[in-house]
Chains A and B, each alone.
Chain A
Amino acid sequence: MYTLTPRCHLPPLRRSPPPCQVASTTTTTSPAPVPVPSSLSAVPPRADPDELRSTWPQRAWTLAGTAAILSSLSTSASLVAAGSGGSPAEPLAAALAAYSLADLATGVYHWFVDNYGDADTPVFGLQIAAFQGHHRYPSTITRREPCNNLHALARAAALALAPTDAALSAAGCPAAAHAFVGAFAACVVLSQQFHAWAHEKRRRLPPGVEALQGAGVLVSRAMHAAHHRQPYNTNYCIVSGMWNGVLDRYRVFEALEMVVYFRTGIRPRSWDETDASWTEVTGAEHAAAGDDGLLQTASINSSD
């Protein structure tokens, strides 16, 4: 009676209807081709819908990262409960400090990958390509399944946090130290979820998230939208965004960029006219390009 269409055969979910094409003075029977930049190989195409789903390796890494974080936090809690970790106020204060520092750390990292290097850069190449793809298609992040979105950061947490926590235990550090590293890792991993919520439409947000965004606990949609506007050189932090005001008001990143420029001669991307390969694809370009985004995507979310 009814046939189920496999999900991979469905057209990508459109968040809004494509805008009307600008009227052209020439009559053509087919839409004019989108001007292709000469650096097409460097331009990330729209992600294949299959690439937005979580894979088992991604789920495994997300679980591993979560386990490392929970282990760290529970170590802190058990130290407090055992009476050897001092008062609970210290770990709580440490967790708050970690939450604040994580916001700053995400800002610095985000500034770095947005402005320097490219897909061929050692170590950071995949991340830079992923951020480039995100700037081209900002809403794609809202369609990623959770483990697909978080697995890369969760993997970093699993690999870095576990030995750190073990070292802290071996050194007999207090509960506050475990709480700090656990909370820091949690905020960094979850920053990608907060980032996704900052791109999501209000009506699709889980209950309570909008209130947290409004209260400044999570980075707000308005604040992060400012980052996605030319020249893409503000509002880099994506946990709570609490550091964005200070960093932008005092032009901290501009100062860093000047220092890097005078030391190395390397210009940050935000100083120049935005390259096509980093510019957001608008609805008109989507419509003209059709659904041809079925090519390989350079993404940190490629499965291992």
Chain B
Amino acid sequence: MAFTPATACCNPSLPLAPRASSRGPATRAQALLCTPSTSAFHGLRAPAAPAPRWRRAAASTGIVCGKVTKGSVPPNFTLKDQNGKPVSLNKFKGKPVVVYFYPADETPGCTKQACAFRDSYEKFKKAGAEVIGISGDDTASHKAFAQKYRLPFTLLADEGNRVRKEWGVPGDLFGTLPGRQTYVLDKQGVVQYIYNNQFQPEKHIGETLKILQSL
């Protein structure tokens, strides 16, 4: 599906700390849409890549092997959202839910994916669905990420990647990268579709919308 940039992405809304590597603070904001920019968390060691029980190296496929599979009911979880509020998956029973696991905030692919979900959010609302993004970043990182790109949906902090491991989200590149996998749950909370694609993040939106329209 075509990625539609939005003007909400024009300038970072937060003052951002300089990179830990070398440079001073950026002196001019750029009207680049959905381009990841200096994060306040530069130099922070990213969470270690998970070691899911079902290890898989494929980067782009709809086929899955993992603990949560099509037709199964995934285990409930309670994680904190970007505002620090605990959110449980069970809360969304009665409506379709799109749960997308992504590697990390403020990385190019994840930013494209988040902005693509944002730009199509009306279509998800029209289908009665909720969108939830999950990564190993903490709530502060999610808050900054959501504010910067005006993300209207929930981001959950899966610190320690506990839920990612429970659901069996496969890693990429022999486990060096956290996987990018999206689950579509129906109103009964049963997984109806799983899509995995690390390096074409915008495709997750089109694929999941297609399924939602048939639920």
A interface residue numbers (CB < 8 A to B): 35, 37-39, 42, 116-118, 120, 230-231, 250-251, 254-255, 258-259, 261-267, 269, 271-277
Known: A254-B108, A265-B45, A271-B36. A277 touches B176 (CB 8 A): no
Besides A118-B22, A266-B43, 5 new A-B residue pairs in contact (Cβ under 8 A), listed by A number: A261-B46, A265-B45, A267-B39, A271-B36, A273-B12
Rounded to whole Å, the gap between the CB of A236 and the closest CB of chain B is: 16
Chain B residue numbers with a CB within 8 Å of A264 are 45
A259 x B177 contact (CB < 8 A): yes
Known: A251-B199, A273-B35. A262 touches B178 (CB 8 A): yes
A271 x B108 contact (CB < 8 A): yes
**Pick from B23, B39, B177: contact of A42, CB under 8 Å:** B23
Known: A266-B43, A271-B108, A273-B35. A258 touches B103 (CB 8 A): yes
A265 x B44 contact (CB < 8 A): yes
A273 to B35, CA, bound (A): 8
Chain B residue numbers with a CB within 8 Å of A250 are 199
Count A-B pairs with CB separation below 8 Å.
Answer: 91
A42 to B26, CA, bound (A): 12
A272 x B38 contact (CB < 8 A): yes
Q: Is the C-beta of B104 less than 8 angstroms from some C-beta in chain A?
A: yes
**Pick from A230, A251, A262: contact of B46, CB under 8 Å:** A262
B27 x A262 contact (CB < 8 A): no
A267 to B38, CA, bound (A): 9
A38 x B26 contact (CB < 8 A): no
B177 x A276 contact (CB < 8 A): no
Known: A118-B21, A259-B177, A272-B19. A38 touches B45 (CB 8 A): no
B199 x A254 contact (CB < 8 A): yes
A272 to B117, CA, bound (A): 21
Q: Which of B106, B108, B176 has the most CB of A within 10 A?
A: B108
A261 x B27 contact (CB < 8 A): no
A259 to B48, CA, bound (A): 11
Interface SS of chain A: loop
B173 x A265 contact (CB < 8 A): no
Known: A116-B21, A230-B32, A267-B21. A38 touches B27 (CB 8 A): yes
A187 to B50, CA, bound (A): 42
**Pick from B12, B104, B198: contact of A261, CB under 8 Å:** B104
Chain A residue numbers with a CB within 8 Å of B198 are 255
12 contacts between A and B (CB under 8 A): A118-B21, A230-B32, A230-B35, A255-B198, A262-B47, A262-B104, A262-B177, A271-B36, A272-B19, A272-B36, A272-B37, A273-B32
Known: A261-B107, A265-B43, A265-B46. A276 touches B173 (CB 8 A): no
**Pick from A116, A118, A265, A276: contact of B27, CB under 8 Å:** A276
A263 to B174, CA, bound (A): 13
Q: Is the C-beta of B42 less than 8 angstroms from some C-beta in chain A?
A: yes
**Whose C-beta in chain B lies nearest to the C-beta of A128?**
B22
Chain A residue numbers with a CB within 8 Å of B2 are none
A274 to B23, CA, bound (A): 10
**Whose C-beta in chain A lies nearest to the C-beta of B59?**
A255
Q: Is the C-beta of B30 less than 8 angstroms from some C-beta in chain A?
A: yes
- What per-residue 1/0 map shows which CB atoms of B1-32 lie under 8 Å from chain A? 00000000000100000010111111111101
Chain A residue numbers with a CB within 8 Å of B38 are 272-273
Q: Is the C-beta of B49 less than 8 angstroms from some C-beta in chain A?
A: yes
Rounded to whole Å, the gap between the CB of B14 and the closest CB of chain A is: 13
A267 x B103 contact (CB < 8 A): no
A154 to B25, CA, bound (A): 36
Chain B residue numbers with a CB within 8 Å of A116 are 21
